[in-house]
Amino acid sequence: MVVSRCFTMKSLKMFSVQRRGMHLLKDKAYINGEWVKATSNAVYPVQNPADDNVITELPDMDAADAKTAVDAAANTFKTWRDTTAKERSYILRKWFNLCEKHSDDLAAIITAEAGKPLAESKGEIAYGNSFLEWFADTARHINGEIIPSPWPNKQILLTRQPLGVVSVITPWNFPYAMITRKVGALMAAGCTCVIKPSEDTPLSALAAAELAEQAGVPKGVINVITSSRKNAPGVGKVLCEDENVGCISFTGSTFVGKILYGQAAKGIKRVALELGGNAPYIVFPSADIEHALDQAMLAKFRNNGQACIGANRFLIHEAVYDKFVEGFKSRIGKKCILGPGTKEGVTCGPLINKEQAKKVSGLVDDAVSKGAEALIGGKFAKELGDKFYESTLLVNVKPDMNIYNEEIFGPVASCLKISSEEEALKIANSTRSGLAAYVFTKDLGQAFRMSRQLEFGMVAINDGILSAAEPAFGGIKESGIGREGSLHGAEEYTDIKYTLMSALDK
């Protein structure tokens, strides 16, 4: 694979790329301000999902390495927690400025390790950088309270204090933004961290750590450990159970989230979990259908459908169903251009790995075997490789099909016909997931009713994209605990301390 405006490394460890940004591509982990190997000297390959070429090899760290990283973060916390909010704000701002300067380099790394089209990778970098900028400002607004006292000679003070070392475990679908969203917040609050990026996409995490070091982030505040799937359980156990860890911040599947939650419970750890979604996309007769279709393309096919808030079930009112489906099919055919992320004009890259490709194709095959129809797509583009799945539109989807109930996490849209607001709510809420929902209507009363009655942490009215640094991001039910972004995102990493000032009349 050839990546334009990218990076290079030693010829034995790197495929051919243009010579740009080579200092951001790392082949070691980052602990206590040092670039280190695994204590076992074991390594594992990081591959480009578009063609399976090995980009480089990284340390395959184990539980002992994870313990070293946690200890480093715990030691640094003793001093970092006492820095002023102004100082933390200044450092975060410097980190943001450097990441902005190297946006193209960071985007090239994401395209190499995650397969995203380069334009989309640049979009993720801009999105991820917005969190560093936001939390640079937020650091100086994490305030306490003075509460009116019931006693004439006493004063009640509530202050927010950093809770300690945070274990940050991030996914492969947004490998950069999920780190900046968490690490920017916890640093603003005065915490330190150990980051365990996905084994599929660790290179952007290491590049971010390099820029953090250049920005003057003290050693031990940010630590990045890398491991293969084989060592991930042992590493995760340390990150959840070590007594020096105060919080586990995880974005990923509900299945893994439940495991980590159970491990955290052993030490009564704070958790911040952003888990799987099953987002309904509801279109009512009053909606602007052309606008709803344009937004549907964003809500479904961003990152090739590999997004936790991606639209999963399209619930279209019978009065506009045929028009919507016809328009959706047309747009998919014209705008979903499959190929390697470095090729100009490509809008949809490969799925991240063979397991994900097998899952997506399995859901479609099951649905078709039970009577669903693929109006477009529905198969692999084998001429491109074994992880390129065609953008697909399914109709005649029924409750007995796996795709009706499961999160797809791929480029497959399933359309269901509804006849009423009540039916839309019944179908939308019939899931244990509760992350995001989308509603398209011009009826103001209906918009407020849907917002109130949809059992989801986030509801977008007449929009297919709802993520930003300013609002509170998160779900309910089995889609997670806590919020990211906004002031609330920083407060997740603080404890409230109550101080009673007494004998003021003495």
**In this predicted model, what pLDDT tens digit does every residue of 460-485 receive, in sequence order?**
999 999 999 999 999 999 999 999 99
pLDDT for res 383: 96
pLDDT for res 14: 39
> Can you list the domains of the chain with their CATH numbers?
35-45+59-275+482-494 (3.40.605.10), 279-468 (3.40.309.10)
Give the other-Cβ count within 10 Å of 13's Cβ: 15
Q: What is the mean pLDDT of residues 377-388?
A: 96
Beta pairing class for 433-434 and 373-376: unpaired
Q: Structure pTM?
A: 0.93
pLDDT for res 23: 74
Nearest to 346 by CA among 66, 18, 3: 3
* Strand extents, DSSP E, 165-278: 165-169, 192-196, 222-224, 245-251, 270-274
Contact criterion met (CB below 8 Å) for 454 and 473:
no
- Selecting among 113, 124, 274, 484, the annotated active-site residue is 274
**In this predicted model, what pLDDT tens digit does every residue of 240-281 receive, in sequence order?**
999 999 999 999 999 999 999 999 999 999 999 999 999 999
Q: Assign 222 a pLDDT band (cuts: 50, 70, 90).
A: very high
Sign (positive/negative) of CA torsion 137, 189, 161, 216?
negative
Active site residue 415: no
Q: Mean of the per-residue pLDDT values for the chain?
A: 94
Two tokens at 393? 């539109």
Cα separations in angstroms, 15 against 7, 75, 220, 348, 470 = 10, 39, 32, 22, 39
- Selecting among 191, 193, 308, 336, the annotated active-site residue is 308
Separation between Cα atoms, residue 181 and residue 183, nearest integer Å = 6
| pLDDT at 53 > cutoff 70 | yes
Q: What is the mean pLDDT of residues 231-238?
A: 96
**In this predicted model, what pLDDT tens digit does every residue of 101-156 receive, in sequence order?**
999 999 999 999 999 999 999 999 999 999 999 999 999 999 999 999 999 999 99
Separation between Cα atoms, residue 490 and residue 182, nearest integer Å = 8
Two tokens at 151? 């006693």
Active site residue 308: yes
Q: What is the mean pLDDT of residues 171-180?
A: 97
The residues that bridge with 46 in the sheet, in sequence order, are 56
- Residue 159 has phi, psi (to 5 degrees) of -125, 150
| pLDDT at 192 > cutoff 60 | yes
Distance of CA 17 to the CA centre of its chain: 27
